[in-house]
Amino acid sequence: MILTYIKLAIICLGIIIGFLRLSILSESNRIFFIFLFIALAGEVLEPMLGLYFSTNFPIYHVFRPLYYSILTLAISYEMTRLKKVYLASIPFVIIAAFLNAWFLQPPEKALNTIIINLASVLLILQVLFYIAILFEEHSWEQTMYYYSFWIAIAILIHSISSFLSLGIHNLLDAEGQDAVVQVQAYSEFVFYGSFSLNFLLQKKRSAT
């Protein structure tokens, strides 16, 4: 619970900083700002849904595809290439999430690990292409202060962590599983903390 409260506090801090610097934020960062509200709701409601359906795990079936959709939309705003490919992946993940929840991993019976892993792999690929294009088309200073570099790096770290932790979780004993959960929690701290960092460093682009 302590880790959960810390995570919620980090999200709230990002919302406050985003609100104070809203006029400075780029269109992409404004979408990331909206994402924090969705994430705050998801982090509260996912365990509550688990309690409601009497499962021993949070229910990620609704918010995880939504997280993917908003993150992808935000990243695509700063893409000069592959933008249509990024956007096309959103309905694909949503349809896959629905079919997975209906046929393979119903919310009341299992975690939707298939969709979480799918979203993680797609986000890893997105971020790698995004960062490569940023450094190809912009200087180091432009990349650091006018785009969403820091959030992208955190998405990459969190997605790799999610993919690996879900992959090995069931293969470990109880002590190992607890360690994996803690690693995942710390990666979420980095992920949500990156929004505050990116909002603070963001510089307003000139009209020209």
Q: What is the pLDDT of residues 67-79, one digit of tens each?
A: 999 999 999 999 9
Mean residue pLDDT across the chain: 90
> Given pLDDT bands bounded at 50, 70 and 90, which one contains residue 142?
very high
pLDDT for residue 208: 45
**Can you count the helices (H) and strands (E) in the chain?**
8, 0
- Rounded average pLDDT over 167-196: 79
Max Cα-Cα span within the chain: 58
- Other beta carbons less than 10 A from residue 162's beta carbon: 23
Both tokens assigned to 130: 């995004």
What tens digit of pLDDT does each residue of 1-16 get?
788 899 999 999 999 9
Q: List, as one string, the DSSP characters of 11-78.
A: HHHHHHHHHHTTTT--HHHHHHHHHHHHHHHHHHHHHHHHHHTT-SS---TTHHHHHHHHHHHHHHTT
Residue % of the chain over a pLDDT of 90:
71
Give the pTM: 0.92
- Cα distance between residue 38 and residue 41, in whole Å: 5
pLDDT for residue 169: 62
